[in-house]
Structure 1
Amino acid sequence: MRGPSSASSVRDGAAPRPDPGPGTPGVGLSRSADPARAASEAAAQIDRTQARFVLAFIPDRLACASLAEALAQQLPGLPVFGCSSAGQITPEGYEDDALLLLAFPRAHFRCATRLIRPLSPFSIEEVSTEARRLAAQFAHSARWNRLALIFADGLSKQEDLLVAALAAGLEDVPVFGGSAADALRFRETAILQDGALHRDAALLVLIETDLEFRGLGFDHFLPTEHLMVVTEAVPEERLVLELNGAPAAEEYARLVGSPVEALSPQVFAEHPVLVRNNSIYHVRAIQKVTETGALSFLSAIDDGLLLTLGRGREILRTLEDELAVTDAAGRGPEFILGFDCFLRKLEIGQKQLTAPASEILRRHRVLGFNTYGEQHCGVHVNQTFVGVAFFEPRTRGLA
């Protein structure tokens, strides 16, 4: 598979990206603001004869409908799946305005898909049944491994139930994914499937591969002594009206030492709230303050839920340590497919760490997008990096 041309793959004096293995996706990349040109430039960098399917991560500035049509024209007969994003992770690290195409090689990947629509509402039983049926109909290749990817409308407020339903239906097949986004607008997201765009939808991609893989999921927060009880909520809208018996935004602002009017995505990124599940804490990210002083969340919330204010560790050190994964033979991955929360990218930019963070992502061969939420093994989380590290097949390593 061919990657981007040398003119676009290395900028600002960065060291060359490590040579890809044969299982690494081909990369198509364009920074054009014109949908037709972006599709043409990115598609030209892909060897269609070697590709099984393509994942497309779309920047906010491109008109999704026009881009979907252009990609269908540029890549006829090749399945293209993906979504709108809050940023892309390209061979150079974090970007905001790049169309990223990942062409998975047919020698190492197979897939089957199912569109889930609508999400608001949907039947948990029906989704579980459809996932189970898809897995049963997808012929299993001997000694190949299975996983599932899910791309969901990040404004649907249904990801918690959706990923739980999929995990139940797919049983021992692990599910990873990210919620579609539209930068920091929170207006409309899009799911792409073979030239068609879908709203209020999710796309399940069941994958078989002869590569070994390992799931990743990590954040960089520790709990503090500051506790909050949700004393009034609207769960179906992910709204918290009161914390500790006080107006939610006022109480949160008091605990983080900020005026209510100064609360913003940057403040939420620095001061997340955590929910404890056994011994593990997960982030429940705040999206915004509503006009009535409530807090709108990006994950499930309910009356009586105990929240803990989090404090951050060194985000770059955590990123480096957690991406330094190896297989049983001690080999690093051929590539890592990454779903990284937009709030993490926002914090990294706020601390002027984008360049070193991008170097870490580049060195560890991470490709993917920035999300409104992440799905990791049956749980919907926020402000987390979720990924799948793919390693060379055992048979190749023994040859």
Structure 2
Amino acid sequence: MDRARAEPSFVRVALSRAVDAAAAARLAAQQISARDTCFVLAFVPGNRNGAVIAHSLEEALGGVPVFGCSTAGQITTEGYETDALLLLAFPKAHFRCASVLMEPLNPLSTTQAATHAQRHVQKFSHTAGWNRLGLIFTDGLSKQEDMLISALETALGDLPIFGGSAGDGLRFEQTYVLHNGEVHHNAAVLLLLETDLPFQGIGFDHFLPGDSQVVITDADPDDRKVFEINGAPAAQEYARLVGCAVEDLSPQIFAENPLLIEYKDTHYVRAISDAGEDGALSFLAAIDDGLIMTLGQGQEIIETLQAGLDIRDAEGRSPDFILGFDCVLRKLEIEQKQLGHAVSNVLGAAHVFGFNTYGEQHCGVHMNQTLVGVAFFAPEPRVLF
């Protein structure tokens, strides 16, 4: 059977493209066996009523825990989509789950968040022979992902955590997370998972550092705004560096010409979301005065995507499925270059399911324009004596 069309064995994928929120939730829920399901992840289109969907799923699934968030797009069996309610049902036979709701995020007490998470981890009883990981879904407009994931990494260092920031298309107006039938703004949901499936974390982008270095000379870290670069108005200097007029700056320009920071010998994207009328640049991740950054140079998207998803377990097997968190600015650049169909084919062949984010979390770092995820493999065959 064609792998791109084969169903994964260890997660149930349910979809509805109905415009009405309640109808979409009912139709998607009908594709899931509540009796066999440990929990459900729901990735909701940014233009749907999240509260209605959360309530309808709670009713339709008979109390099965539902977590997730609003999205800037979904990664389904068809690859990239923008208007599909995507449900991923994780079976009881292979998963256990506990959840931690963290709110408010802004203002954030990192000590309280870390203590809260540690307490829940300690209460989560361990199943012999099973492995643990964490998933984090964060309100993408809270501007607290950097501090939160760093605090959790420090407090839960032996627990690998992967996640994405909730989006709403490219409106940057209202984002939320879902927790047990309720919508929460200015909040995050940390899921503690146990599974008997082997898994591997992934994280990659398609940018290398270029030759142009810049210095942030005036910034508001709390609001993630930069007013000056190299002592000049930020938007003006950035436009000069990328070779366009200030009035031509756009999400497409930002997506193709990101600024990178170096941390622990690795370069990470700090994406720009927009340029204000005051000449400031707004970022989707932490920014500060004195930060030295490098203008990124894009590599071939399809090749880097295929290489990043070409992973194997110890037995040389491909993943059964990959839970993926893919930055919306990657999707924007891909569509701008008319590569959407080709990328969707690659994602489908690799069994990637997830959503387009306002930022990704991995290895204790909040980053942008990255594909972060968890590849789950079939359990290793038992040896019978």
Contact 2:54–2:182, Cα closer than 8 Å, also in 1 = yes
Contact 2:34–2:62, Cα closer than 8 Å, also in 1 = no
Are 2:105 and 1:119 equivalent residues in the alignment?
yes
SS at match of 2:48: coil
Q: 1:321 aligns with which of 297, 300, 307?
A: 307
The CA distance in 2 between the partners of 1:28 and 1:20, in whole Å, is 11
Residue-by-residue CA offset, 1:44-76 (whole Å, 9 max, x unaligned): 111112110000000022111111121111112
Are 2:198 and 1:212 equivalent residues in the alignment?
yes
Contact 2:17–2:24, Cα closer than 8 Å, also in 1 = yes
Find the counterpart in structure 1 of residue 287 from structure 2.
301
Q: 1:186 aligns with which of 169, 172, 182?
A: 172
Q: Which moved more, 1:209-218 or 1:278-287?
A: 278-287
The CA distance in 2 between the partners of 1:60 and 1:118, in whole Å, is 21
Find the counterpart in structure 1 of residue 9 from structure 2.
22
Residue-by-residue CA offset, 1:253-284 (whole Å, 9 max, x unaligned): 00001111111111000000000113210000
Q: 2:276 aligns with which of 278, 286, 290?
A: 290
Distance apart, 1:195 and its partner CA: 1.1
Q: Which moved more, 1:388-397 or 1:129-138?
A: 388-397
Q: How does 1:202-351 map to 2 (within 5 A)?
A: 202-351=188-337
Q: 1:378 aligns with which of 357, 364, 385?
A: 364
In structure 2, relative to structure 1, the CA distance for the partners of 1:398 and 1:133 (3 Å cut) is farther
Contact 1:275–1:281, Cα closer than 8 Å, also in 2 = yes
Find the counterpart in structure 1 of residue 69 from structure 2.
83
Look up the equivalent residue of 1:19 and give its one-letter code: A
Look up the equivalent residue of 1:126 and give its one-letter code: Q
Find the counterpart in structure 2 of residue 144 from structure 1.
130
The CA distance in 2 between the partners of 1:80 and 1:278, in whole Å, is 36
Please give the TM-score of this superposition, normalised by the length of structure 1: 0.94
Look up the equivalent residue of 1:254 and give its one-letter code: R
Contact 2:4–2:350, Cα closer than 8 Å, also in 1 = no
Look up the equivalent residue of 2:20 and give its one-letter code: D
Distance apart, 1:397 and its partner CA: 8.4
Distance apart, 1:169 and its partner CA: 1.8
Find the counterpart in structure 2 of residue 173 from structure 1.
159
Contact 1:51–1:106, Cα closer than 8 Å, also in 2 = yes
Distance apart, 1:398 and its partner CA: 8.4
Distance apart, 1:167 and its partner CA: 1.0
The CA distance in 2 between the partners of 1:355 and 1:397, in whole Å, is 42
Distance apart, 1:15 and its partner CA: 5.7
Contact 2:271–2:285, Cα closer than 8 Å, also in 1 = yes
Look up the equivalent residue of 1:145 and give its one-letter code: N
The CA distance in 1 between the partners of 2:218 and 2:53, in whole Å, is 43
Residue-by-residue CA offset, 1:214-237 (whole Å, 9 max, x unaligned): 000000001111111001111111
Are 2:19 and 1:44 equivalent residues in the alignment?
no
Q: 2:91 aligns with which of 84, 88, 105?
A: 105
Look up the equivalent residue of 1:44 and give its one-letter code: Q
Q: CA RMSD in A?
A: 1.4
Contact 1:33–1:61, Cα closer than 8 Å, also in 2 = no
In structure 2, relative to structure 1, the CA distance for the partners of 1:125 and 1:398 (3 Å cut) is farther
Contact 1:127–1:169, Cα closer than 8 Å, also in 2 = no
SS at match of 1:127: helix
The CA distance in 2 between the partners of 1:185 and 1:141, in whole Å, is 43
% of aligned pairs identical? 58
What count of residue pairs does the alignment treat as equivalent? 385
In structure 2, relative to structure 1, the CA distance for the partners of 1:396 and 1:292 (3 Å cut) is farther
Distance apart, 1:180 and its partner CA: 0.3
Look up the equivalent residue of 2:377 and give its one-letter code: F
Contact 1:149–1:176, Cα closer than 8 Å, also in 2 = yes
Structure 2's unaligned 5+ residue stretches are none
The CA distance in 2 between the partners of 1:348 and 1:226, in whole Å, is 24
In structure 2, relative to structure 1, the CA distance for the partners of 1:345 and 1:309 (3 Å cut) is same
SS at match of 2:330: helix
| 4+ runs deviating over 6 angstroms | none
Look up the equivalent residue of 1:22 and give its one-letter code: S
SS at match of 1:207: strand
Distance apart, 1:351 and its partner CA: 0.5
Please give the TM-score of this superposition, normalised by the length of structure 2: 0.98
Residue-by-residue CA offset, 1:284-339 (whole Å, 9 max, x unaligned): 00011112110110010011000100010000110001101000110110100000
Find the counterpart in structure 2 of residue 3 from structure 1.
none
The CA distance in 2 between the partners of 1:387 and 1:86, in whole Å, is 17
The CA distance in 2 between the partners of 1:128 and 1:395, in whole Å, is 37
In structure 2, relative to structure 1, the CA distance for the partners of 1:395 and 1:142 (3 Å cut) is farther
